[in-house]
Structure 1
């Protein structure tokens, strides 16, 4: 069975870079150019170390890192507040990415970037293509948005917290099933993506509502659903539809990519 390891590239790189930069963040003066170059070099070293560790851990037959190009994506066009509060990537890190990707490629770790496509949707579509062909797909990321793919048999691993996610970890953290997460986040909001949610609805209310049915419409028609709550949610229907569209990963993109492009050759990175 083929096993495709899909690595959320910027998620990995930015977290490793932040760990390198942290001692300098609260410094009274900005660090020197030489220090910045050292941080970038140290980051690339750490990325390679992590990738080699992941390969040993998962023994994939195929592997790729997925990045996205800076652009105004379709989610921001639909909802301008989307990720509006997120700190931009440091400029010198952005400028250093092409050299980093080349270094990774030289070590046997190829990457994918497609214009006008978010990395999340590329990864989700590749993972689902693997599952549709009864092959294995593992995503490496701390992004909770990928949890919605668990019901399809996609694996999600958080390298930094050493967590292999499952329906049980989702239930323990959010109180709902993985297939209900998009509806749950649409109701309560999602700070990571700057989604406001429905005013006055918190995690407990959303969890109790979704226990009445697998989706919001079914739950609202349940006799135990409070009338005031139903009215509040119905009044916010237009916003909810937008939130659910934004938070749902695209899993059917026609990417023009061939699995053979991602075949991993262990000898190249040892």
Structure 2
């Protein structure tokens, strides 16, 4: 049975690198060497755990469509440490030594490419596991798409999403569209926080349905209607694309 392992490369690498940086007395070269070895070990474990037949590790390209749509996207996020950035191809050997393709797109974000690959695989009845701690993948959880947190060594299920966010995974795009996402500098609707977003979506299911209803709280209505452009923008930014042209087939990812 075919199974596709999809690794969010920088999500994995940056966390491993951060731990290595805490080790006192190591040079940049030693940290990169340690990080590469840890990535190699992680890849071996992931291949074994997932029983994958196909695999790829996807890196981020430079300045995706989101930056063009909203120039402030990720504006306050700390840049990648230069020692890591200049040695990414070395660290990537942690994947390739296990015959896992390391893919460096020119512009697209890893999230959109991974979502595209998972979506395409699912449409052909092929299951996939996305390895990432990024919450943006959570709406993809389905019969054929699972999310795995390598650092907690566990799969994330739809029930886990509901426990964490108090909202169904299918409502997450509207949820983040309303309250924004500070980690990525996505604005959301001015004055709408977590509680209001949950209340609106729990009662009406979607923002569209809420605005059509006469029973929507007047204060919430005023906030949403006066800042609807930011809601539409934010919802677009948080949703992952599943139509990226990747230029290779599933066959090429066979282990």
Match of residue 48, structure 1, among 40, 46, 50: 40
Q: Secondary structure at the match of 1:161?
A: coil
Confirm or deny: 8 A CA contact 1:187 1:198 kept in the other structure.
yes
Match of residue 49, structure 2, among 35, 57, 63: 57
Q: Secondary structure at the match of 1:254?
A: coil
Q: Deviations over 1:146-176 (max 9, x none)?
A: 0011146410011112331111111111111
Match of residue 189, structure 1, among 177, 180, 183: 180
Confirm or deny: 8 A CA contact 2:43 2:94 kept in the other structure.
no
Moved more, 84-93 or 96-105: 96-105
Alignment of 1:160-171 (within 5 A): 160-171=151-162
CA RMSD of aligned residues (A): 1.6
Match of residue 250, structure 1, among 241, 245, 249: 241
Confirm or deny: 8 A CA contact 1:122 1:253 kept in the other structure.
yes
Instruction: Tell me how far 1:6 sits from its aligned partner.
Output: 0.0
Q: Deviations over 1:22-69 (max 9, x none)?
A: 245xxxxxx7xx711000000001001111111111110111101123
**Aligned pairs, number:** 255
TM-score between both structures, scaled by the size of structure 1: 0.90
> Aligned partners of 1:151 and 1:213: how far apart in 2?
23
> Aligned partners of 2:94 and 2:192: how far apart in 1?
47
Give structure 2 stretches of 5+ with no counterpart. Answer: none
Aligned to 2:10: 10
1:76 paired with 2:43, answer no
> Aligned partners of 2:187 and 2:39: how far apart in 1?
34
Confirm or deny: 8 A CA contact 1:128 1:152 kept in the other structure.
no
Confirm or deny: 8 A CA contact 1:151 1:178 kept in the other structure.
no
Q: Deviations over 1:189-232 (max 9, x none)?
A: 21221112222211111111001223211022234310221121
Q: 1:196 to 1:8 in 2, by over 3 A?
A: same
Aligned to 2:91: 100
> Aligned partners of 2:8 and 2:152: how far apart in 1?
15
TM-score between both structures, scaled by the size of structure 2: 0.95
Confirm or deny: 8 A CA contact 2:63 2:108 kept in the other structure.
no
> Aligned partners of 1:41 and 1:10: how far apart in 2?
16
Confirm or deny: 8 A CA contact 1:182 1:247 kept in the other structure.
yes
Match of residue 129, structure 2, among 133, 138, 142: 138
Moved more, 255-264 or 3-12: 255-264
Confirm or deny: 8 A CA contact 1:212 1:222 kept in the other structure.
no
Moved more, 102-111 or 57-66: 102-111
> Aligned partners of 1:103 and 1:124: how far apart in 2?
23
Alignment of 1:206-245 (within 5 A): 206-245=197-236
Give structure 1 stretches of 5+ with no counterpart. Answer: 25-30, 265-270
